[in-house]
Amino acid sequence: MPDRPIVLLTNAMHPDGEAILTPHAELIVPPDAKPETLRQWAKNADGIIVRAKLPDDIVDHAPRLKGIVRHGVGLDFIPVDAATARGIAVANLPGSNTNAVAEYVMSALMHLRRPLYRLDARLRSDGWNAARPIADSLPELSGSTLGILGVGTIGRHIAGIARDGFGMKVLGTSRRKGSLPAGIEEVALEELFARSDAIAVCCALNEQTRGLVNSGLIGRMRSSAVLVNVSRGAVLETPALIEALRSGKIGGAALDVFDVQPLPANDALFDCPNLLLTPHTAGITATSGRAMAVGAAEEMLRILRGEQPLNLVNPAYKAA
């Protein structure tokens, strides 16, 4: 390990993670995570721990860089190919926020299906007798059908909670036929959207999934069905969802990810009915934040010591 290497944190992380790194490296946190700021602060960095999207050309501005570690799972924040070409190791933390995202999905479904806040608000404003009738129209999750688009680590965890905890029937799709675990009925994508009472979108973003949830698939949904997107904004055709919500063609939606982040204050999504919006926080809790910080710190130290990280995503970097 070089004497007192510099590790750039795109954003501050849990103190327990910082405590692991501090005895071995100088930590720097820039004032913001704008592309031009990250380029400037990366020039002396030996490592970067990523919580915000890196500029695609970040490696051109970081001549000392030896490793990039994702504080989380998704790799779309990191120019992996460029890093590989420069001989820079890239690692992520699979499974570190799985439970947090799964709990978010189930919380969003409860919010959409049994919105207790409406009962609370009516009780406070209009009294007991005015609030009670709202409950007559609220369905239970038990016995309904959940369709999961993207049955990976997170999708499987969601399926287990939905099936074993709430008594839901679970459908899923897979590019490799016959690969889904027991308890998830494998169906075609169009059938998943047509049969499900709720749909959880949790697939990775790639060229095959970009724009996958389009007007055609949304048009197959039942008028009472709801959709939760914890994947990436680009997987969903947002104008099609806006039209479906405004026209009442579907029952509602919850979005944690968007085409543009942060979501602009004048975005059309703010005017949609039956829509829950959160600022890309499905995987963020106090519990997962600590786990990701500790995991990222440990992986970064391995890279700086010249060791292979446990979750290396670009083994070809060694040949560069």
Active site amino acids: 280
Which residues are CB-neighbours of 16 under 8 A, at least 6 positions away? 290, 293, 294
Cβ count near 316 (within 10 Å): 11
- Whole-number Å distance between alpha carbons of 222 and 233: 22
Query: Whose CA is closest to 160, among 182, 132, 135?
Result: 182
Question: Residues 144, 112: contact at Cβ < 8 Å?
Answer: no
Alpha-carbon torsion (287, 289, 291, 294), positive or negative: negative
Which residues are CB-neighbours of 94 under 8 A, at least 6 positions away? 73, 153, 311
Residues paired with residue 67 on neighbouring β-strands, in sequence order: 47, 89
Angle 288-184-105 from CA coordinates, rounded to 5°? 35
